[in-house]
Copies of this chain bind each other. A is one copy, B any other.
Amino acid sequence: MQLYSFFNSSTSYRVRIALALKGLAFDTIPVNIRVGEHRAQPYVDEVNASATVPALVDGDVSLGQSLAIIDYLDAKYPQSRLVPQDIEARARVLELSMLISCDIHPVNNLRILKYLQGPLALSAEQKDAWYRHWVAEGMAGVERLLVKYGHGAWCFGDTPTLADVCLIPQIANAQRMGCDLSAYPRAMAVFAQAETHPAFLAAAPNRQPDYSV
């Protein structure tokens, strides 16, 4: 299995956590999104038509989009299942995962920040305020969901699920960008839990072959 990944991409980070939790071996193929390698050929035509990272190649299957990849892994390699099968438990895990993956992450990813400072010529202060604004909006929702429905050491229970797989990279990014996260104690308790877990540690940006400061 090959994972096309960028060390600092939080969607790549999600898939790395999922692979590590499932104990699946893979080769990392770095794609430097800072210099646009994800938009170059033959990557777009042959590996990932979405022109993003990550992408997974597993035998004949070549797949983009982190959540589609993780769903595929969960179906094909069901050990350490990340999305529960019980209908309501599943709904809660997906609700939190989608809040992070649709409402927080996309508006703060690299291409958006580049557009703010490039074509829109905004200042670094305006870009940082933008980032913090969407983190605060989204994390308030995450915390409400966790307080209302969460339980156990992880988001939903005593084993990690897709919700944790999405939450940890999002918090790591928010910390890197200097966001104040003190208003989300339940989310931060899950983050602290992940900092003791070998799969989450192995998937972290600073453990990747393409890591740079």
Contact = CB atoms under 8 A, between A and B. Distances in A.
Interface of A: 44-45, 49-52, 61, 63-69, 71-72, 75-76, 87-88, 90-91, 94-95, 97-99, 101-103, 105-107, 111-112, 115, 119-120, 122, 126, 129-130, 133, 137, 140-141, 144-145, 148
Contact of A64 (B66, B75, B99): B99
Nearest to A91: B72
A98 B92 CA distance: 18
Given A90-B72, A107-B107, A65 B102 contact: yes
Contacts of A87: 72, 75-76
A23 to B, nearest CB: 19
Given A49-B141, A106-B107, 14 more contacts: A44-B144, A49-B144, A52-B103, A63-B95, A64-B99, A71-B90, A71-B91, A72-B87, A75-B87, A75-B90, A101-B102, A106-B106, A115-B133, A120-B120
